Amino acid sequence: MSRSSELFSQAQHSIPGGVNSPVRAFNGVGGSPLFFERANGAYMFDVDGNRYVDYVGSWGPMILGHNHPEIRDAAIEAAERGLSFGTPTAIEVTMAEKIIEIVPSIEKVRMVNSGTEATMSAIRLARGYTGRDKILKFEGCYHGHVDSLLVKAGSGALTLGTPNSPGIPADLAQHTLTVSFNEPDEVRDVFERYGDEIACIIVEPVAGNMNCIPPAEGFLQTLRDVCDQHKSVLIFDEVMTGFRVAPGGAQEYYGVTPDLTCLGKVIGGGMPVGAFGGKREIMDHIAPTGPVYQAGTLSGNPVAMAAGLAALTALQDHGLYQVMNQRVETLVNGLQEAADEAGIPLTTNHVGGMFGFFFTSEKVTSFAGATACNMEHFKAFYHEMLKRGIYLAPSAFETGFMSMAHSETDIEETLQAARQAFASLK
């Protein structure tokens, strides 16, 4: 029995499901999860001493690669001065200024400790600012485990929200409207019916929680237009896309400016950090300037700020993005070629450092498309890749992440494994 399997069995007794976040349990692919003990650059090493080329990157933040020396050293140096003060610190100001410099739509920003806190706070702010209760989200987009956002649509068409977890009051969920991603007509219809009751639209500008699904041409602009017409707040959840698809996120890549932006993971360089920010006029509604309450004892934690600032500073070398994007193209083109050669139906999507592959011959542009793929192929492929030292997200509904530390050799190693894995599916 591997050490990972032993630990997973042991963990079942003390941790629900043996994990501290559900997708880690390998429910999406079957089998037992690996336990990791260290990571460096493009590689992660499990407790059994195996090395993997990693395309999860701690679910996004490791854009510069694992254990980046400048980020690690900044965190250690900050830790030597104290782990938390619960008071204002100079580095929070520097961090806010850095985010504002890189993401111009953000005029003021508040730090939090996770992506969930960022989206929760942003929708409360949008509701408080507009005095409206309803929010609009998209089927297949995930924004953390916020009550109002853990709401499921029954089908593509407009659904009045029903909770998709026990513990969420139906009275709250009914304020969440859900329509299909990439269907501008559905958005316009909802706004015709409920426009003056909708506080905000929240969207992943590139959907990364139903695999990787880029916005259709003009889709994000439609969201901007309906929000302008109805005085609703447009929130981009850039927890995954921020500093990844472009330095300034999807809003820079697609040229559409939201009112509020949620950031996460990436801005902590691996430490638990999130943030939400945007127009000064809206952000000034937050306490203590305004009446919308939001707080956090450890928000702006000095160690997390030091790591995050080091990450954002390193990411200002824009040449790194070109190299990363090129590696993504080499990878997805190589996967396509390998699948074609093996006669396995496959399509791919990618934007900047995010990529996805789907076991289907149809281009995937929606949640319905993502769920219609061949899951048996995905699971089998997953384990064939894992056996060959390639660590992909253990779910067909997660985007893949490239880092700036992946070399051409790493990509070739991955494609070599993929050729064998596809061949084994025949």
Residues numbered 252 to 281 that lie near ligand PMP (CB under 6 A) are 264-265
**139 lines the binding site for ligand PMP (CB under 6 A):** no
Identity at 283, one-letter amino acid code? M
Q: Which two tokens stand for residue 263?
A: 């950031």
| 243 counts as binding ligand PMP under rule CB under 6 A | no
Shortest distance (Å) from residue 142 CB to ligand PMP: 5
Which sign, positive or negative, has the C-alpha torsion 216, 150, 24, 263? positive
Can you state the angle between helices 319-342 and 408-425, rounded to 10 degrees?
20
Shortest CA distance to 395 belongs to which of 139, 208, 239?
208
Beta strands in 219-340 (DSSP E): 233-237, 260-263, 274-278
| Interaction pattern, residues 79-118, with ligand PMP; x per rule: CB under 6 A | -----------------------------------xxx--
Choosing from 265, 379, 382, 410, the catalytic residue is 265
Rounded CA separation 64/55 (Å): 12
Residue from 92, 183, 237, 252 that binds ligand PMP (CB under 6 A)? 237
Cβ closest to ligand PMP, residue 220 vs residue 344? 220
Contact 277, 236 (CB under 8 A): no
Residue choice 239, 292, 405, 417 for contact with ligand PMP (CB under 6 A): 239
Q: What is the CA radius of gyration of the chain?
A: 21
What's the rounded Cα separation, in Å, for the pair 82 and 295?
21
- The stretches of 181-269 forming alpha helices (DSSP H) are 184-194, 219-230, 249-254
- Say whether 265 is catalytic: yes
Looking at the Cβ atoms of 116 and 178, the one nearer to ligand PMP is 116
Quote the CA–CA distance of 404 and 5 in Å, as a whole number.
31
Q: Does 119 bind ligand PMP (CB under 6 A)?
A: yes
Identify residues 169-228 at the interface with ligand PMP (CB under 6 A): 204, 208-209
Q: Is 237 a catalytic residue?
A: yes
Interface pattern 22-61 for ligand PMP (x via CB under 6 A) = -------------------------------------x--
* CB-nearer residue toward ligand PMP: 115 or 334: 115
**Whose CA is closest to 72, among 300, 315, 316, 268?**
268
- Tell the smallest beta-carbon distance from residue 16 to ligand PMP (Å): 16
Candidates 142, 243, 357, 359: give the one binding ligand PMP (CB under 6 A): 142
Q: What residues contact residue 10 under an 8 Å CB cut-off, 6+ apart? A: none
**Rounded Cα gap, residues 134 and 132, in angstroms:** 6
304 is a contact residue toward ligand PMP (CB under 6 A) = no
Cα 376 from Cα 378, distance rounded (Å): 5
Does the footprint of ligand PMP cover residue 370 (CB under 6 A)? Answer: no
* Active-site annotation holder among 142, 321, 382, 391: 142
Q: Does 121 bind ligand PMP (CB under 6 A)?
A: no
Residue nearest to ligand PMP (CB): 115
Cα 201 from Cα 364, distance rounded (Å): 23
Annotated active-site residue 142? The verdict is yes
Per CB under 6 A, which of residues 54..73 are in contact with ligand PMP? 59
Binding site residues, ligand PMP, CB under 6 A? 59, 114-116, 119, 142-144, 204, 208-209, 237, 239-240, 264-265
